[in-house]
Amino acid sequence: MTAKRALSSAVVYRDPKAALKFLADAFDFETTLLIEDEAGNLAHSQMVYGDSIVMVGNEWTDEHRSPLSISGLMTQTVHIQLAMGEGTVDNHCERARKAGAVILVEPETQFYGDRTYRCKDPEGHVWTVSQTVEVKGPEDWHTAEMGLKTTVYKV
């Protein structure tokens, strides 16, 4: 069996077991791997969302800390892309809010055709959630009117 190319995130928490519950409740992630030490502390875990994996772990060095432990600082945010027809961003936002997320930016349709909201989880990680609601290409974006320049690279 050949593995597909993939990219995943590893997110560090003070209380990773609480994070597993939050991520399941707020974003519908599923735990697929849970490794604990003899004392029942989480050593490693993985959750899936569609074809994507997020690893959830604990603080394990001075460089691997939750935003909660470092005055809310972070070096990355995590993006969730909902499939078209997979509910709505607005409903997803309400689910996250009910699970304890702090909504930073309410759902809003962007110039490029995605409806997006942004939230913080209980330990301060920022999550952006988007869903394409109108398929648009760079020719439709009117970025010059907003003072932006679009360059598209073909892969």
Domains annotated for the chain, with CATH where assigned, are 9-59+69-146 (3.10.180.10)
Query: Quick one: pLDDT at residue 95?
Result: 97
What's the half-sphere exposure (Cβ side, CA atoms, 13 Å) at 127?
26
| pTM, full prediction | 0.88
Please report, in tens digits, the pLDDT of each residue of the chain (155 residues total): 667 778 889 999 999 999 999 999 999 999 999 999 999 999 899 999 999 999 999 988 888 888 889 888 887 889 999 998 888 999 999 999 999 999 999 999 999 999 999 999 999 999 999 999 999 888 788 776 777 777 888 77
Say if CB 61 and CB 111 are below 8 A apart. Answer: no
Q: How far apart are CA 45 and CA 100, in angstroms?
A: 21
CA 137 to chain centroid: 24
User: With 0-12 CB in 10 A as exposed, 13-18 as middle and 19+ as buried, what is 129?
Assistant: buried
Query: Quick one: pLDDT at residue 151?
Result: 82
- From first CA to last CA, the distance across the chain in angstroms is 25
Query: Quick one: pLDDT at residue 152?
Result: 82
